[in-house]
Structure 1
Amino acid sequence: MRVLLPLILLSTTAPAPAQTATATTQAALARIARLNPRVGAVLAVDPTALAQARALDRQRRTRGPLFGMPILLKDNIEAKGPLPTTAGSLALIDNVTGRDAPVTASLRAAGAVILGKTNLSEWANIRSGHSISGWSAVGGQTRNPHALDRNPCGSSSGSAAAVAAGMVDAAIGTETDGSITCPAALNGIVGLKPTVGLVSRTHIVPISHSQDTAGPMTKDVRTAARILTAIAGSDPADPATAAADAHRTDYLAALDPAALKGVRIGVLRFATGWSAPVDALFDQALAVLMAQGATLVDIRDLKGRDAIGPAENTVLMTELKADLDAYLATTPAAVRTRTLADVIAFNTAHAAQELALFGQETFLEAQQTRGLTDPAYIAARALSVRLAGRDGIDALLAANRVSALVAPTMPPAWMIDSVNGDQISGGGAGGLAAVAGYPHLTVPMGAVRGLPVGLSFIGPAWSEARLLGLGFAYEQASHRAIPPSFRPSVETSPGVAPLLLPAKDVH
């Protein structure tokens, strides 16, 4: 069953001048009304959006750096108002908390209009290893605006697709491992996963306090820098952010078209080889980096990286149970699912809506974990962060005397497959940054048969300004972003469809 939340409220009054927050918000609402039926990116528009915009227009003296910018939130991020925060699950359909997550409050303080909520892979894609990215019981299936039968990746599927489709210039996503950078790359936009601890996670439905973070998903690097400047900072309720105020900066000031000149960059060759067309685009991107003055250093291997995945899984399963139980305990009394065990039972009781396409075996695995004091969990966390961080990214940077690492982000979008679930044919080095808690920026790198792919910039902790500067210089020199076509399928494209027709003469 698909639950239809309130989608659109359009003013019947005459449009305001173009520079007003009201006019900007009205235009965004009109784009959502026109485009969202094809893409399914937006779960609900906040019915207070126009009131927010009009209030901003009345502020004549103090207008923030994001004045009037309509921004969508992934629906695991809380916002004051009548909309629930569902994480895509029917179990949280009554989760109207009446509170802003600090990231939401920071956006409002900077003058943004919180336009509404975007669809996501249900429970941020942690319920099952056989899931369909971009699907939730609340929102149905989000589609890739470059080919509507292709997957948008997840779990920040709706945030990416809404920006790519042109509904808004910016949305907020969240990532534990790939959930900002993968959908950003597959939808042809910019995505930044910040250092864990730069942006508050309070009042965001959690998976893992070791790896979770919110971050900007935007039409370009400049907009990402604007958003990050607004949302970065310490939050007393989130201990991981204790050092954020000491590290935050004006990220716009780091954007320099000449930022690549004289910079040594490590090329992660061990994160390539899974797609010849993507490798060809990667080689073109490397040529752009060199033309802009960068020195490239090939890096062929990283010892011990095969051990990261199993250790990360132990960490995620253990923290999922502990962190989700803690979050659910803070939800309103109307929410009957107060623990992960309750959610599992809810899904079983509502299997026709929740479990018809794929199961909840990852939830069941997490439910069996033994808590944050379990020695196996403690050892796994120490091992994973060491292999990905100190012995991983940090060691690669130091040994090769490079300032950042680059790799392809992900393969082109795969088909939406309700039989087999996600069928992913490869991936870059984003998992290293996710496990280490380090920043990862993806910028459009081109397209394979019209399906976008991204170029990843990865650096040490707190290096967002450097990565944004490098990504901006590449973006300005390459111009590889492509507009969405909303075509039904790659296979219906003029250059492909005739080649797929059956032979006329069979002997």
Structure 2
Amino acid sequence: MKSTPHVPSRAAMSGVLAAGVVVAGALSGCRAPSSAPEPFDVVEASIPEMRAAMESGRLTSRQLVMEHLARIARYEWQLTAAVSINPNALEEAEALDSERAAGNVRGPLHGIPVALKDNIHTTHIPTTGGSLAFEGYTPPYEATLTANLREAGAIIIAKAGLTEFANFMAGPPNQMPGNYNALTGYGLNPYDPRRDPREDRNDGRPALTTGGSSSGIGTAASFWAANVGTDTGGSIISPSNANMLVGIRPTIARVSRWGVAPVTLDHDMAGPMARTVTDAAIMLGAMEGAAPDPEDQATGRCEAPPGRDYTPFLNADGLEGARIGIPRAFYYEPVEVGGRSVGGLDEEAAALMAEAVAVLEAEGAIVVDPAQIPSFVDPDPEANFNTWPLCIGGHQAKGSDEGCAVNFKYGMKRDFDAWLASLGPSAPVQTLTELREWNLAHRDAGSMKYEQSRYDISDEMDVEADRARNAADMAKDSLLSQARGIDAVLEEYELDAIFTPGSRGAGLAARAQYPHIVVPFGFVANEPTPPFPEGFDARPAPFGVGFTGSACSEPRLIELAYAFEQATRRRVPPGGFR
């Protein structure tokens, strides 16, 4: 089979062209000053560094945005990090510069360019979910988190790529690759921006996973300062891990979900993705509301820190005396359940985690090893978390879904239809059924390259008739992930957090609705099965570590993550994008 050449979509090309036109237009009206100041290098620059440069007068927001737009124009064609670019970003920057000059600084992100996953409503840039049906669509209202960020002074420079509608379109038997959508095609990982050469996988997908369904590509490549992702079962943590970023999946509803296209509101949560814990903490505070959102009453669950400021928790000595649990079963070592072995690490990853645990001890943490999670070591398959999967494939339609939790497919029917209704008559389709039909009618245009098995199994759910089944499955989820999961292990060993490898801790935290933070730490070999062909020299994959805590424990987790980050400083920028 010959490799199919990748042809950038109209949306991808328009994003690159828009950035290029904006930069070219800006440069055409500039004259070089006689004594130009030393240019500000945005590559790997932190939000505090950008802010300090603007406060000192060395840099304007306009210049900062121009530098980022220039990087997008130069490298976007290699990576496909964006769905769309804000054509008014420079004008917004100039307005914020004027506000600063007048002594009005909105907040910690004043004049800082950030990106939002393209399932988060913006009314000044399209919100598409990556779907052909929503191409160019502008919703009638802004997401609460978007409003909060803009109120804090952020410039939404772009809508970041995503797996189409947060990866609940196409699952088995035709699993959609991470960061693929019908509008822009495949996103590529800047740590190895090549396409998979393997037979039957050479359709344009990346050789090195980008994670999913959020994109960390643009943040890793310094296209913007940071970005916001959304997470239903790992879609902030996985791409953060894959792109050597810090990712925070907050407690459910700490950040308002209003104006975010849903999979299931029982597990959906937006959170920051950034190059440092500091930047992620600043983003989280700006995203969170000062008071509960009347459009999302659950936002009253966690109290925001004073001033919505998480930076006081950036304590380099935060690991001193902290009790950190090492849940060996599944996460580090295989466990036998139901007659099969699940989990465990290969030799390389195990050695890396041993080094990470040694860092915890060197920084004064009390490491409890092992600290087993009861629902992970229970020999009864009916009581073990690892034998209670989610219904996320075409083979788990009604009648074949007794051994899996229905909440994702039930929630997609319930909450996606409600979201479409909130858009009013402007919505391209009115129901999930209509979206499925639209995709079928536009198959030849590329609307459903990987089919739509997840839409199919969701659309057959009956919100009323299946309510009791969903409630029962949610109760079992809560038992295994909370009462006999995270809550149990934290209480038994009096822990501040558990410590897990890579993005593996994301699934348990998401199903428990609890916070999780991943921090960059190292690299492991990219050795998929089946293997790459001989002669393909795969570059290593980023690999981080995760901290999971109880509900509303973000301040403590940020403290632990920051202390670990400062003790290690293992983030390495991707090569080839200077």
Q: What do the CA deviations read for 1:109-134 (whole angstroms, capped 9, x no partner)?
A: 11111101011000111112211111
Tell me if the contact between 2:372 and 2:489 (Cα under 8 Å) persists in the aligned partners.
Answer: no
Q: What do the CA deviations read for 1:219-239 (whole angstroms, capped 9, x no partner)?
A: 100001111111112211012
Structure 1 residue 148 displacement after superposition: 1.2
1:320–1:23 distance in 2 versus 1, CA, 3 Å: same
Structure 1 residue 151 displacement after superposition: 2.0
Task: After TM superposition, list the pairs within 5 Å mapping 1:21-32 onto structure 2.
Answer: 21-32=61-72
What is the alpha-carbon distance in structure 2 between the residues aligned to residue 369 and residue 279 of structure 1? Answer: 42
2:502 aligns with 409
Structure 1 residue 350 displacement after superposition: 1.4
Task: After TM superposition, list the pairs within 5 Å mapping 1:29-428 onto structure 2.
Answer: 29-59=69-99, 60-63=102-105, 64-81=107-124, 83-129=125-171, 130-149=175-194, 150-157=208-215, 160-233=216-289, 234-245=292-303, 249-270=308-329, 271-272=331-332, 273-297=344-368, 298-303=370-375, 304-310=384-390, 313-331=405-423, 333-354=425-446, 357-371=449-463, 374-410=467-503, 428=504
Task: After TM superposition, list the pairs within 5 Å mapping 1:494-505 onto structure 2.
Answer: none
Q: What do the CA deviations read for 1:138-180 (whole angstroms, capped 9, x no partner)?
A: 11100000001322011002xx010111212200100001100
Question: TM-score, length-normalised on structure 1?
Answer: 0.88
Tell me if the contact between 1:91 and 1:335 (Cα under 8 Å) persists in the aligned partners.
Answer: no
Of stretches 175-184 and 225-234 in structure 1, the one that deviates more from structure 2 is: 225-234
Task: After TM superposition, list the pairs within 5 Å mapping 1:462-501 onto structure 2.
Answer: 462-486=552-576
Matched, 1:454 2:544: yes
What is the alpha-carbon distance in structure 2 between the residues aligned to residue 409 and residue 437 of structure 1? Answer: 19
Structure 1 residue 363 displacement after superposition: 0.8
What is the alpha-carbon distance in structure 1 between the residues aligned to residue 126 and residue 73 of structure 2? Answer: 20
Residue 382 of structure 1 aligns to a residue in which SS? helix
What is the alpha-carbon distance in structure 2 between the residues aligned to residue 274 and residue 357 of structure 1? Answer: 33
Structure 1 residue 324 displacement after superposition: 0.5
Tell me if the contact between 1:406 and 1:455 (Cα under 8 Å) persists in the aligned partners.
Answer: yes
Residue 208 of structure 1 aligns to a residue in which SS? coil
Structure 1 residue 96 displacement after superposition: 0.7
Tell me if the contact between 1:201 and 1:213 (Cα under 8 Å) persists in the aligned partners.
Answer: yes
The one-letter code matched in structure 1 to 2:138 is: V
What is the alpha-carbon distance in structure 1 between the residues aligned to residue 297 and residue 446 of structure 2? Answer: 34
Tell me if the contact between 1:95 and 1:331 (Cα under 8 Å) persists in the aligned partners.
Answer: no
Tell me if the contact between 1:247 and 1:462 (Cα under 8 Å) persists in the aligned partners.
Answer: no
Structure 1 residue 247 displacement after superposition: 6.0
1:314–1:58 distance in 2 versus 1, CA, 3 Å: same
Matched, 1:443 2:502: no
What is the alpha-carbon distance in structure 1 between the residues aligned to residue 352 and residue 232 of structure 2? Answer: 27
The one-letter code matched in structure 1 to 2:494 is: R
Structure 1 residue 307 displacement after superposition: 4.6
The one-letter code matched in structure 2 to 1:146 is: Y
Any gaps of 5 or more consecutive residues in structure 1?
Answer: 411-427, 488-507
2:395 aligns with none
Tell me if the contact between 1:404 and 1:457 (Cα under 8 Å) persists in the aligned partners.
Answer: yes
Structure 1 residue 186 displacement after superposition: 0.6
Q: What do the CA deviations read for 1:301-351 (whole angstroms, capped 9, x no partner)?
A: 532213542487401111101111011112253433111001111111112
What is the alpha-carbon distance in structure 1 between the residues aligned to residue 472 and residue 405 of structure 2? Answer: 12
1:49–1:332 distance in 2 versus 1, CA, 3 Å: farther
Residue 475 of structure 1 aligns to a residue in which SS? helix
The one-letter code matched in structure 2 to 1:430 is: A
Tell me if the contact between 2:126 and 2:136 (Cα under 8 Å) persists in the aligned partners.
Answer: yes
1:209–1:447 distance in 2 versus 1, CA, 3 Å: same
The one-letter code matched in structure 1 to 2:210 is: P
Counting matched residue pairs gives: 467
What is the alpha-carbon distance in structure 2 between the residues aligned to residue 464 and residue 204 of structure 1? Answer: 21
1:416 aligns with none
Residue 386 of structure 2 aligns to a residue in which SS? helix
Residue 95 of structure 1 aligns to a residue in which SS? coil
1:132–1:439 distance in 2 versus 1, CA, 3 Å: same
Residue 65 of structure 1 aligns to a residue in which SS? coil
Structure 1 residue 36 displacement after superposition: 1.2
Of stretches 292-301 and 357-366 in structure 1, the one that deviates more from structure 2 is: 292-301
Of stretches 174-183 and 364-373 in structure 1, the one that deviates more from structure 2 is: 364-373
Tell me if the contact between 2:140 and 2:426 (Cα under 8 Å) persists in the aligned partners.
Answer: no
Residue 392 of structure 1 aligns to a residue in which SS? helix
What is the alpha-carbon distance in structure 2 between the residues aligned to residue 92 and residue 365 of structure 1? Answer: 21
The one-letter code matched in structure 1 to 2:74 is: R
The one-letter code matched in structure 1 to 2:521 is: M
The one-letter code matched in structure 2 to 1:135 is: Y
Residue 328 of structure 1 aligns to a residue in which SS? helix
The one-letter code matched in structure 1 to 2:552 is: W
Larger Rg: 2
Of stretches 136-145 and 355-364 in structure 1, the one that deviates more from structure 2 is: 355-364
What is the alpha-carbon distance in structure 1 between the residues aligned to residue 565 and residue 155 of structure 2? Answer: 27
Tell me if the contact between 1:146 and 1:484 (Cα under 8 Å) persists in the aligned partners.
Answer: yes
Any gaps of 5 or more consecutive residues in structure 2?
Answer: 1-7, 38-56, 195-207, 333-343, 376-383, 392-403, 526-539
What is the alpha-carbon distance in structure 1 between the residues aligned to residue 385 and residue 248 of structure 2? Answer: 23
Structure 1 residue 204 displacement after superposition: 0.7
Residue 296 of structure 1 aligns to a residue in which SS? strand
What is the alpha-carbon distance in structure 1 between the residues aligned to residue 414 and residue 137 of structure 2? Answer: 19
1:94–1:19 distance in 2 versus 1, CA, 3 Å: closer
Residue 217 of structure 1 aligns to a residue in which SS? strand
Question: TM-score, length-normalised on structure 2?
Answer: 0.78
Residue 71 of structure 1 aligns to a residue in which SS? strand
What is the alpha-carbon distance in structure 2 between the residues aligned to residue 323 and residue 51 of structure 1? Answer: 36
The one-letter code matched in structure 2 to 1:239 is: Q
* Residue identity (%): 35
Tell me if the contact between 1:254 and 1:468 (Cα under 8 Å) persists in the aligned partners.
Answer: yes
